[in-house]
Amino acid sequence: MLGVNKKVNLMKFLDSMKFSFWKPSLIFYWLAIISFLFWLIIGPLSWRNADDYGTFFDVIKKINSFESSNNFHLYSKIAYPIDFQSIKPLELFQAIQKTCREGWNTYPHLWGFIYLPLTIPFLKFGLDWTRFATLVVGFISAILTAYLLSNIITTIFYSFKKKLKTKNFKSIRYLIDFFAISIVCFNPELMLHASSYMPYQLPAISTLICIALFTSFYTYQTKIDGNNETITNKTFDISLTYTFLIAWLSSMLGFQTIFLYLGLLLASFFFAITEKYGLKSVQKISLKISLKISQKISTIFKNAKSKFYSLLGLTLSITLLLGFSRYHFLKLIYQIKSNSGTGTYVYNDGFYKLDLLNYSLSTNFINLFHAMSRLVSLSIYPFRYGQDISSFVLFLFLIPSFVFLFRATKLTKIVLLIILSILFITIIFAFKGNYTFAPSRHNIYLFPCFWIPIITYFVYLGDQVLSNYRFYVKFLLLISLSFFFTSGLFVSINAINYTKQQKEKLYQMAYKSNIFPATIGQHDLWSLYWTHGDKEWNAVVGKECSINNQLSATNLAFIYGNIKPLQLNNKNQREELELFSDGCIKASDNLQIVDSYEFQRDVHLEMDEFVGWSGSSAYGYLISKLN
């Protein structure tokens, strides 16, 4: 047990324990504004699949269930577009609350709690408003990601600033901010998911917060030990209490965070061993951590008695976090018990699959190399094409980046140890078959593991090589890199977007139709036309199938899909069409296609060419019923 004096000293230390974060630089703010404008110019993707609109669909379904004028016999609850002005605020609030509480599919509940209340209320003004609100929320998460990344790398550079040739540390900060925002905010994989209801980018924030716990504490210790005015004026402090609450909240941003904390545990144990603490000291550390949490919380409440608002805010925060935790960990436990695979669709003929039982060691090694190198490329390289070369080059650059972190300072060794531990834990679970280690949206949370070493090493090399060059050389380099990242984002998003002509052709068919027979999809489960935007919504509003509005030779129905074409003689498609139209169009009906527009494109929402399942095609049909 700890002695009385040691307990007192420990409590005094904890009372003064804070975490320091660097204030964003002026260039960070300017770059954030510029990148936000680029996001607005690009806008939301012109089509959606069920993984995106599913949460939004559930809200609409609940609004429809309050009061529906549809008299057609329904096999399931309906979800049709309705007049925006008829949406009642109370019903909208109830629908959002219920959807957040129930959750959607395998997504963490916190995704809904973050995105839905901030975006769905804009539905009163139109679906386009809601979609742009989603984009804004996603951009805020991207900027937070870029800030945390910049904060970590800035601290790393401050720890070995004596090795830098550039004497002005501010210029190094500007360069770090430039790369942080360029790589994060102009990453197509990240933007596509951040601006949707499948925000797989959020766990990347958790990864950065885990690492920032160490770098920010180092910043605070450096500040109070050195009394350096430069670092004092450029940082702000967060108490242990609120740091703990932030870390707690970030732990629920994705189910992948379980790998982060297992990685932290592994890194801590390894660090304790390498620092020659021994098992007894490890036990003492564990005891200190337990004492730290319990004693600090009690101290918080003692000190907060005289501060009503502080106590109220703290109590409310803990209550909300306990509520979020209940939903999050119950679903996580269910996922573990059901032993369900994650993102198994990414396996293309076993190209990335890790399987020790069925594959040889050489095959597993090759697949691991492919997955790792492609994941590194996905985190940095913004184009869909040329990934073979970029993955090889960036992976080769990653290796000396790791070596550089290992050799630089004690702080960088700790950061590297955490990164390697997180990667190791993820790969182990991938070999067990419980997780998919591949360049897909499920692994965006691993991007910081590559961003930190690559940006750090690149900025360091730039400082060593370019320190003696004139300003215009550095300026031209930054302009070239800016063009590279911005053009990569534009080209990659446009590669899967519908053109104005394609959207107009689909709209004209939908506008001419009398019936839009869809509740959860049409001839495939993954496509729902009216979720695309205001124009599409208005083209089918009021055209739901009913007793008085049924398919006939002259009463035409509009059918849309983005995965596969409609085949009237396909038995499975006809059965699905009957199910998804709630019996409006039966499998036994004699149908004909009056008009059609088919556009096939095998380029997917996922950036990697070997990962995808839906393409970005467009299939539109006007159909009638033969007598």
**Can you tell me the mean pLDDT for 530-550?**
89
Taking the C-alpha atoms of residue 450 and residue 280, their distance in angstroms, rounded to an integer, is 35
Sorting pLDDT into bands at 50, 70 and 90, what band is 66? Answer: low
Max intra-chain CA distance, the chain:
93
The domain ranges of the chain are 342-380+393-466, 498-627
Nearby residues of 292 by Cβ (< 8 Å), 6 or more positions away: 10, 14
Residue 624 has pLDDT above 80, yes or no: yes
**Can you tell me the mean pLDDT for 514-533?**
84
What's the mean pLDDT when you consider all of the chain? 85
Return the pLDDT at 402: 96
Residue 233 has pLDDT above 50, yes or no: yes
Residue 423 has pLDDT above 80, yes or no: yes
Apex 25 CA angle, 23 and 29, nearest 5: 110
Q: Are 80 and 560 in contact (CB under 8 A)?
A: no
Q: Which percentage of the chain shows pLDDT scores above 70?
A: 86
Return the pLDDT at 112: 94
Residue 353 has pLDDT above 50, yes or no: yes
Sorting pLDDT into bands at 50, 70 and 90, what band is 303? Answer: very low
Dihedral of the alpha carbons of 504, 508, 511, 514, in degrees to the nearest 10: -140
**Can you tell me the mean pLDDT for 365-377?**
94
**Can you tell me the mean pLDDT for 168-191?**
93
**Can you tell me the mean pLDDT for 149-162?**
91
Sorting pLDDT into bands at 50, 70 and 90, what band is 290? Answer: very low
Q: Which of 289 and 139 is assigned the larger pLDDT?
A: 139
One DSSP character per residue, 330-342 reads HHHHHHHHHT--S
